[in-house]
Amino acid sequence: MTQLILASQSPRRRELLATLGVEFTTLTANIDESVRPGEAARAYVDRLALAKAQAGLALSGLAQKCWVLGSDTSVVIDDQVLGKPSSEADFQTMMRLLSGRTHQVLTGIALVSKGQCLHDLVTTEVTFMALSKQQISAYWHSSEPVDKAGGYAIQGLGAVFVTRVVGSYSAVVGLPLHETARLLGQARFSLCQGLMPF
């Protein structure tokens, strides 16, 4: 039986993948997530998703009979990738950039096995309301933004700032379900309790 491994310890990605009804295990694939000089946001996200999957495959020890799923989600505005806030000041800068504007959330997914690679990249547009200093400060002190790309969680308290989403909500959370199901179908996994094929 072919094994599926999720190269992530993100609780959100685990929950999303579990909804597809496929059995999987997880591992942590630690890679350098620095943006390379001159690297475009789409290329960055696509590269990280693939790197995570390939690192997971190398760690698995099951290269002959498994597929590894890697994913990366980044918030992008003005061609700038917003990572996890390094401090409250960094977070406030991010929120001022996002306040009252539309930004993009790019999510790359890569499904790899020995000699095979399937991948996709999903772009979702998210619009924020105009934020006051008090709202930004209160959100920071909720502790939710600390480990979130772009400084917010759309599946949490950060959703109160979102006025519009165009595209895949699950991609913003961390794993685009439609596209992931399609790649898993191409890899001949049985999932979704009869909702296949994709």
Asked whether the beta carbons of 72 and 49 are under 8 A apart, the reply is yes
CB burial of 79-117 (b: ≥16 within 10 Å; e: otherwise) equals eebbbbbeeeeebbebbebbeeeebbbbbbbbbbbeeee
Q: Which residues are annotated as catalytic?
A: 72
Q: Locate 144 and state its tokens.
A: 């939710």
Report the helix count and the strand count for the chain, using DSSP H and E. 6, 7
**DSSP β-ladder status, 3-6 and 25-26:** parallel
**Beta bridge partners of residue 124, listed in sequence order:** 105
CB burial of 162-189 (b: ≥16 within 10 Å; e: otherwise) equals beebebbbbbbbbbbbebbbbbbbebeb
